[in-house]
Structure 1
Amino acid sequence: MINEIKRQPVTFSLLLVTTVVFMAIQIFRFGDTTSSPTIFEFGGMYGHYLKYDPSQIWRLLTPVFVHIGWQHFLFNIFAIYIVGQLAEQIWGSWRFLLLYLLSGVMGNTVTLFFTPDVVAAGASTSIFGVFAAVSVVGYFGRNPYLKQMGQSYQAIIVVNLIFNLFTPNVSFVGHLGGLVGGLLAAVFLPTISEKHMFKKEKRFLALALYVVLSLGMLFLAL
């Protein structure tokens, strides 16, 4: 376990922070991890309040560390553990962290823009982004193992999106936003083994598109 932590420090740091936040809610709110006021108080997204007070812009990031109930928490912790270790090997620790956070920010920006009346939280925006990023490098890269993994993650994305359509209280638009963020980040964040998978022009275009989309939605929403 110690060797795993040393090899994938960001993955285990994300697991730790996410767990600490969830346990803090358990302790300070006596197990109430599902009510909207509690989720909002601990960093969840609520678009209408962000419109009222733009200084709460940090809520585009903090929801990825907040979870609504045990099932939500355990499912996402497991997903982070599995896909996080793979992604950290592909991109390296710091670029993986950037990929994770940028996916979450895009997902929460889309949530703010399309569903401002919903209190939303969860790492799913970031997780969907990492799923998408692995799919991208699997499709465009030369590594046969990553190609196989990319196909697997494409199937996971499709199944989960279909499942989301028929599941109440799930931020479908947030997951889509995370996917878009991860797709774009996979292009402008080079992997360790194939740093020249995409040309500079395509990297710049993907980065510019991420910035324009996120800032554009934020400007229109606020």
Structure 2
Amino acid sequence: MTALKREFKKTPVTISLLGLTSLIFVAMQIIYFGQASSVQAVFDFGGMLGVYVKAYPNQLWRLVTPIFVHFGWEHFFFNALTLYFVGQMAEHIWGSRRFLVMYILAGISGNALTMVSSPNAVAAGASTSLFGLFAAIVIIGYFGRNPYLKHLGRSYQILILINLVFNIFTPNVGIAGHLGGVIGGALLAICLPAQYEKQIFKPWQRILAGFGYFIFVLGSVLITLF
């Protein structure tokens, strides 16, 4: 418990996100005992389904909820482990508040692209947000001056490329969600100033990146609904 308290003090948002994601996963196991990995269970807990959102626009909250819902133990464990390590790193770089904003908005951009490109498939998972974090660290490493972040950015750049190529040849993996998360994360890294690299981008670049993110998500919503 003491170790958990120390972790929470250092990175409260990462630990809170892990806790919420875990609670939702456990609730799915209890309510849908033996069937928690089914498409119906994931949809009922907030998975994205583009055709359903098109028919019922009041379901746009599904742009957010899939971030916290997972298909089975392997899906949940892999994303939770990634969130634990990458989330803490990103929270140190951007600070707790901006990290939370980045995590949620990157997930939204990933789910928005999924909604457009795979409207008939139920999609869920934190990987939309996680790919956004990967992309954000790549951007901050590429344009920043910190040697450690530069090295980390190069490593994540390779990781993103490998995963996206792997997604192409892997069935039932939402490459659109990952790609949308990458786009959102890259734009958000420019828009949201990091704690240690605040002067990398000029104000007009930050405004332009924020506007680009808004247009990307809004465009995806409008294409889906109309």
Q: 1:203 aligns with which of 201, 206, 213?
A: 206
Mapped partners of 1:36, 1:47: distance in 2: 14
1:31 and 2:38 aligned: no
Match of 2:181 in 1: 178
Per-residue deviation at 1:31? 3.3
Give the alignment of 1:65-80 within 5 angstroms.
65-80=68-83
Per-residue deviation at 1:165? 1.1
| Structure 1 residue ranges, 4+ long, deviating more than 3 angstroms after superposition | none
1:155 and 2:158 aligned: yes
1:93 and 2:96 aligned: yes
* Matched position secondary structure for 1:167: coil
Give the alignment of 1:130-145 within 5 angstroms.
130-145=133-148
Mapped partners of 2:74, 2:82: distance in 1: 12
Equivalent pairs, count: 222
Per-residue deviation at 1:33? 2.3
Q: Which amino acid aligns with 1:38?
A: A
TM-score (norm 2): 0.97
RMSD: 0.7
- Contact 1:46–1:117 (CA<8 Å) still a contact in 2? yes
Mapped partners of 2:111, 2:74: distance in 1: 21
Mapped partners of 1:99, 1:23: distance in 2: 25
Deviations 1:5-41 (A, max 9, x none): 1010000001000000000000011032221111000
- Contact 1:18–1:65 (CA<8 Å) still a contact in 2? yes
TM-score (norm 1): 0.98
Per-residue deviation at 1:158? 1.1
* Matched position secondary structure for 2:7: helix
Mapped partners of 2:220, 2:49: distance in 1: 15
Mapped partners of 2:103, 2:30: distance in 1: 27
Identity %: 54
Mapped partners of 2:186, 2:117: distance in 1: 20
Q: 2:62 aligns with which of 59, 71, 74?
A: 59
Q: 2:105 aligns with which of 102, 106, 110?
A: 102
Which ranges in structure 1 are unaligned for 5 or more consecutive residues? Answer: none
Deviations 1:121-173 (A, max 9, x none): 00000000000000000000011011111111111111111111111110011
Per-residue deviation at 1:212? 0.9
* Matched position secondary structure for 1:132: helix
1:20 and 2:26 aligned: no
Mapped partners of 2:34, 2:104: distance in 1: 27
Per-residue deviation at 1:82? 0.8
- Contact 1:33–1:67 (CA<8 Å) still a contact in 2? no
1:187 and 2:190 aligned: yes
